[in-house]
Structure 1
Amino acid sequence: MPDNAVSPDGPLLADLHAGILTLTLNRPERKNAITPEMWARLRDRLLDATVDNGVRAVVLTGAGATFCSGADIADTAGMDEFPDPSDLISTINDTIRLLQELPVPTVAKVSGVAAGAGWNLALACDLVVAASDARFCQIFARRALSLDTGGSWLLPRLVGLQQAKRLALLADMIGADEAQSLGLVTWVTAPVSLDEFTHGIAERLASGPPLALAQTKDLLNRGLDRSLTEALEYESQAQAANLQGPDILEAFAAFSDKRDPDYTRAAAAR
């Protein structure tokens, strides 16, 4: 996807500018509830981002006043792409996995409500910026459903088992401040500052050393399932790759020249 490109109007908008790919769930009239078509488009955009060197950070957000109210179980738009229902489930799971494993940092920008699958989309991102009036709910139990879209894996890792059970079993709606106190939101900002604040975070991520950030993200994601000995071994392997790559040369040159590093120049030299 070329820089400054914007996808045509549709249920998912994609805008790439200065290394920041902004993906916008675009059904504001339905509080951005996700249809099968949207899951497929989001998965495809994330797949593209894994191999696009022009993408240095991803921002996931919703159009209008709401991030995402969850999966739209009443709208079958796009179901013709999934003659077997298990194919849709696989696409949804791939989307969550891609957000977690994407080799660039991901940021969820949340306003309004993030519920069910919508909240888990945000939790699958590396960082979450929420407007102070945002609200969050693991709504599944209210619909006689069990957790999906990664909630059973994400929640206990972020808040511990007991709080995860409280959020999932009671399906309480919580505010941005409580979500932040539980470790489910990284920053809370005033609604009028949400766009500017999130863009500033994305700019910082997009200007960072891509290989080092990708490896750091992977090390942290996998660290909970590794022993200390295993973690040290994988850290050593990652650091060896950094020491042999062009980014570290740019980092040292920038330090010597007393300037900010320009990792796009290092990438061009590859």
Structure 2
Amino acid sequence: MSEQNVIVQQVGNRLDIILNRPDRKNAITQQLAVELRDAFLNVPTDVGCILLSGSGGAFCSGIDLKVAGADLKNEPLTAWVEVHAAIYQCRVPIVVALERYAINAGAALALAANVVVAGETSFLQVGEIAMGVAAPMCQAWLHLKHSPAVADRVVLVGDRIVGASLTELGLVSEIVADSDVAQRARDVADHIASHPQRGRDGISRTWDALRGRIDDPDEWFASLIRKF
């Protein structure tokens, strides 16, 4: 039996979704994307919060170029778009434990979360501009959640954004000691999961009313890939 690229385990009302390719710094392949998409599409009804993390003490280094190829314009990871549509449609709050780094496609996963806990030396980087390509999934979440000024700074500069700068830009919720990221993220996820479901649902509906909803997330995210 092949090893799982994504580990899914429920702990009380918390659902842990763990990227599980530590030998490749949890880099994303087509198979990992399929498993991740399915995890978000099949969240149990009694789950109050999702904790998304990476195995081996790091979050995600982006798309595995060794497998996918360097030319991202071909977008070989067709399931990757479906991952983001599934996250968008997920009605359960998502907490990310950002250990060490979230790079490019990994940054997109962090940007998609409701709450991000990062370490003092953790960094987030949307560096596709230096590769000569757009960053459609990162840009999608920056557009949905952040101001144009923050979005432009992140994608046009393309540098590593570290520690306190992450909170100053509003990209993460809090910074803790590197050794405390995993535990703090679990604590936050457990706390969110402990709230009454009607409260979480009411907050989601209110955000929908204020922000609007995308009618067809699958097509919306896919259209961003087709534009470049």
Q: Give the TM-score range, shorter chain.
A: 0.7 to 0.9
- In the alignment, what sits opposite 1:48? 42
Matches within 5 A, 1:227-246: none
- In the alignment, which of 174, 189, 213 is matched to residue 187 of structure 1? 174
- TM-score (normalizing by structure 1): 0.71
Matches within 5 A, 1:49-68: 49=43, 52-68=44-60
- In the alignment, what sits opposite 1:163? 150
- In the alignment, what sits opposite 1:74? 66
Query: How much has 1:205 moved relative to structure 2?
Result: 1.2
AA matched with 2:14: I
Q: Is the 8 A contact 1:176 1:185 kept in 2?
A: no
For 1:14, what is the secondary structure of its paired residue?
strand
- In the alignment, what sits opposite 2:132? 144
Q: Is the 8 A contact 1:111 1:130 kept in 2?
A: yes
Query: How much has 1:224 moved relative to structure 2?
Result: 2.8
Structure 2: how far apart are the matches of 1:219 and 1:124?
18
Structure 1: how far apart are the matches of 2:208 and 2:118?
22
- In the alignment, what sits opposite 1:128? 116
Query: How much has 1:101 moved relative to structure 2?
Result: 2.8
Structure 2: how far apart are the matches of 1:98 and 1:211?
22
AA matched with 2:83: T
Structure 2: how far apart are the matches of 1:14 and 1:72?
21
Q: Which runs of 5+ in 2 are unaligned?
A: 69-73, 214-228
| Identical amino acids, percent of aligned pairs | 26
Q: Is the 8 A contact 2:115 2:172 kept in 1?
A: yes
RMSD between aligned alpha carbons? 2.1
Structure 2: how far apart are the matches of 1:38 and 1:179?
27
Q: Is the 8 A contact 1:107 1:125 kept in 2?
A: yes
Q: Is the 8 A contact 1:10 1:26 kept in 2?
A: yes
Structure 1: how far apart are the matches of 2:57 and 2:84?
23
Larger radius of gyration: 1
Q: Compared with structure 1, are the counterparts of its residues 221 and 66 closer, same or farther at alpha carbon in structure 2 (3 Å cutoff)? A: farther
**Alignment of 1:39 onto 2:39:** no
- In the alignment, what sits opposite 1:118? 106
Q: Is the 8 A contact 1:136 1:174 kept in 2?
A: yes
Q: Compared with structure 1, are the counterparts of its residues 71 and 41 closer, same or farther at alpha carbon in structure 2 (3 Å cutoff)? A: same
- TM-score (normalizing by structure 2): 0.83
AA matched with 2:98: V
For 2:154, what is the secondary structure of its paired residue?
helix
AA matched with 1:74: K
Query: How much has 1:222 moved relative to structure 2?
Result: 5.1
**What do the CA deviations read for 1:184-207 (whole angstroms, capped 9, x no partner)?**
100111122212211111111111
